[in-house]
Amino acid sequence: MNWISIVAIYALFWVLSAFVILPIGVRTHEELGLEKTLGQADSAPGNFRPVTILLRTTILSAVLFGLFYANYTYGWIDRHSFDFLIAGPENSSD
């Protein structure tokens, strides 16, 4: 696999992992008992920690990409693994 492909696929895994990680552990001001600023949305996070989110996202994406690359290298699951989903015409003897 080309190194540019590796970087691009890892970036995709990272972005998708970020969307999975973002809502984990985030609480609103109401849940934390903090006062809201005038005009603030009710759903605004009160304990947003970007460094923690970046670290968790990087770890999750590295694990997922590692599994992807291992599968690419060793061929555990290939396109023929899902042939059972496509049912061909049944040979019925009349």
Q: For the segment 19-44, what is each residue's pLDDT rounded down to a tens digit?
A: 999 999 889 888 898 888 899 898 88
> Could you tell me the pLDDT band of residue 5, with boundaries at 50, 70 and 90?
very high
How many separate domains does the chain show? 1
Whole-prediction pTM value? 0.77
Expressed as residue numbers, the domain containing 68 is: 3-78
| Residue position matching structure tokens 């008992």 | 33
The answer to the question of residue 85 being in a domain is no
Which residues are CB-neighbours of 64 under 8 A, at least 6 positions away? 13, 17
Alpha-carbon gap, residue 24 to 18, rounded angstroms: 10
Q: Pick the more confident residue, 89 or 72.
A: 72
Report whether pLDDT(72) > 70.
Answer: yes
Report whether pLDDT(58) > 70.
Answer: yes
The answer to the question of residue 21 being in a domain is yes
Task: Please give the pLDDT value at position 90.
Answer: 65
Give the rounded percent of residues in the chain with a pLDDT score beyond 70: 93
The answer to the question of residue 92 being in a domain is no
The answer to the question of residue 91 being in a domain is no
Report whether pLDDT(94) > 60.
Answer: no
For residue 57, the surrounding DSSP H or E stretch is helix 50-74
